[in-house]
Amino acid sequence: MSDPVRFLNAFAHSLGVMTLYAEGHPSREKAVDSAFDELDGLTLPGGHLPAFTFLEDEVVFGRERLRELKSWDWGKRLVAAGIERLELERRVTREEFNSFLEEVLARMMLSTVDTTEVRQMRSLGIRYGAVGLQGRDAIDPALDAAFASLPGVMTTLELTLGEEAETFRWLQTEIKSGGSVPLLEAEAVVRSLSVAMHGDSRMVLPLLKLKEFDQYTTTHSLNVAVLSMGLAESLGCRPKEIRAIGVAGLLHDIGKIRIPLEVLTKPGKLNDEERAIMNSHPIDGARVIMQSDQDLGMAATVAYEHHIMLDGGGYPVIHYRRECAMASRLVHVCDVYDALSTKRPYRDAWPAERTMAYLEERAGTEFDPELVATFIRTLKQGQARVRVLSDEPQPT
Ligand SMILES: [Fe+2]
Ligand SMILES: [Fe+2]
C-alpha cells in the first residue's frame, strides 16, 4: 500500500472511531496517533507538502490518481461535506491535526451543508474546503456581451490554470521528442479541469484567453477539453465518460506538434504544400496516440475524425461514408467554437453570438444538430458560466 493510501485509510478510520469514542479514550487516541504518523511522513514528489483532491469517485494525491482507492467511499462523503481539497501549509503538530479532525467530523455530521458557498477553511496549518477559481468573469468583450445577462454568483477565487497549461506544454515537448503520450499527466490535467468546473453550484467553464500566438495549441487544447466536458455533462454522460472525452478534447490536435510554427501562425492563406501539412494533423495525431496507450482508443478516434463533417466533407477524406463517433462529433463542435472565438493571426476573434449563429447555420450539414442545440443551450441558458482565466502559475 502506498503512503498516501495508508494515510487516507488511517484518516477515515480515525473519523469513524471519533464518532464512537470521546476525547481521551485509548482507541480514539491510538487511531489519531496512527493517522498523524502517516501524515507526518508524507511528501509529494519534489519534497512538497501533501495535497489531496477528492472527487466523487476518485482521490488525487498531488497530480496522481490513487488507483488503489477504488472502493474507498470516503471521497464521496468528504465532497458532500464541502471538502474537495485538503492541503498542508506546513508540518502540523499532533494537536493541530486533532482539532482539524474534529472540524472535519463536525462538518460531516451537519445534516445540511450549504455547498453553494465556496469556503476555504483553515485549521492551523491545514487548508481544506471546496475548490474555487481564480480569475475574472469573462473579460473578452465578445464573451461579456453574450454572458453579461446571466445571473452569476462570484466564487471565492483560488485556482488558475497555470499548472495545467504548463503540464500540457511539457506533454507536447515529450511527444515531440519522440516519447509516447504521457497518459497520467493528460488525465491529471483533465481531472483538475473537471475540479475547476465544479467548485460552484453551477457548472463553470474555465476558458483561457490566448496571449501569444505561438501558445495557440496549448490554450486551444485546454479550452476544447473544458468545452467538451461541459457538453458531455449537459448530455448526461457519466463522470468517467466525461473525463475520457476531456482527454480526447485535450489531445485532439496533438498531431500539430510537428507542424512548423511559421505554418501554424501564418497570417495569410496557406499554399497547397502548407495546406497539405496542416491537413495531415488528424492522421499524425491518431498515429501518435495509438502508439502510446491502449486506453486511448477514443482519443485516437477523435484525433482522426475531428475535422470530418456530418455530411462526410472535411478531412481526412473518407472513402466509405460512415458516421463518426459521438465523441468526435462532439469535439468537432467545441473545436470550431473555440477556434472562431479566438483571435488568429489572419482574423479577429468572433463574438460569441456570431459563433453560435455559425454553428446553428451549419447544424445538419457540418455539425450534429442535437449536439449544437445542447451546446448552445448550455452556454445561453446559463447551465454553465464562462470564466476567463489566466494561465499564470498559481500564487502560493
Ligand atoms: Fe484540428
Ligand atoms: Fe482544434
Ligand 1 centre from 222 Cα, in Å?
13
Of the CA atoms within 13 Å of residue 171, those in its CB half-sphere come to 29
How far does the centroid of ligand 2 lie from the alpha carbon of residue 281, in Å?
10
Nearest Cα to Cα of residue 135 among 113, 162, 170, 98: 162
CA separation for the pair 246, 190 (Å, rounded): 6
Give distance in angstroms: CA of 338 to centre of ligand 2.
Answer: 8
Centre of ligand 2 to C-alpha 316, Å, is 14
Q: Which ligand is nearest to the CA of 316?
A: 1
Chain centroid to CA 263: 29
What b/e readout covers 281-299, taking b as 16+ CB neighbours within 10 angstroms? bbebbbbbbbebbeebebb
pTM, 2 dp: 0.68
Whole-angstrom distance, CA of residue 77 vs CA of residue 61:
17
pLDDT values of the chain reduced to their tens digit, one per residue, 396 residues: 779 999 999 999 998 888 888 888 899 999 999 999 999 889 887 888 888 888 777 888 887 888 887 778 888 888 877 788 888 888 889 998 998 898 888 777 764 444 444 345 556 667 776 665 544 444 344 444 444 433 333 333 355 688 888 889 999 999 999 888 988 889 888 988 888 787 666 777 888 877 777 788 899 999 999 999 999 999 999 888 999 999 999 999 999 998 998 898 888 889 999 999 999 999 999 999 998 877 888 999 999 999 999 999 999 987 777 889 999 999 999 999 999 998 887 788 898 889 999 999 999 999 999 999 999 998 887 666 777 776 655 444
Residue with cell 489531496: 52
Q: Omega into 316 within 30° of 0, i.e. cis?
A: yes
Please, which residues have CB less than 5 A from ligand 1, an ion?
253
Q: Spell out the residues 6+ positions from residue 373 whose beta carbon is closer than 8 angstroms to its own.
A: 363
pLDDT at position 139 is 38
3-class DSSP state of 44 = coil
- Which pLDDT score is estimated for 191? 86
Q: Which ligand is nearest to the CA of 344?
A: 2
The alpha carbon of 82 and the centre of ligand 1 are apart by a number of angstroms equal to 38
Å from CA of 256 to ligand 2 middle:
9
Q: Which residues fall within 8 angstroms of residue 287, CB to CB, at 6 or more apart?
A: 255
* Cα–ligand 2 centroid distance for 53 (angstroms): 29
Would you state the pLDDT for residue 155?
30
pLDDT at residue 157, as a whole number: 35
Asked whether the beta carbons of 130 and 107 are under 8 A apart, the reply is: no
- Separation of CA 300 and ligand 2 centre (Å): 14
197 CA distance to ligand 2 middle (Å): 21
Phi and psi at residue 131, to the nearest 5°: -105, 135
User: Could you tell me the distance, in angstroms and rounded to a whole number, from the CA of residue 253 to the centre of ligand 2?
Assistant: 5
Residue 251 alpha carbon to ligand 1 centre in Å: 10
Q: Amino acid letter at 194?
A: S
Is residue 72 helix, strand or coil? coil
**Length of the chain counted residue by residue:** 396
Find the 224 Cα to ligand 2 centroid distance in Å: 7
CA of 253 to the centre of ligand 1 (A): 5
Instruction: Measure 246 CA to ligand 2 centroid, in angstroms.
Output: 13
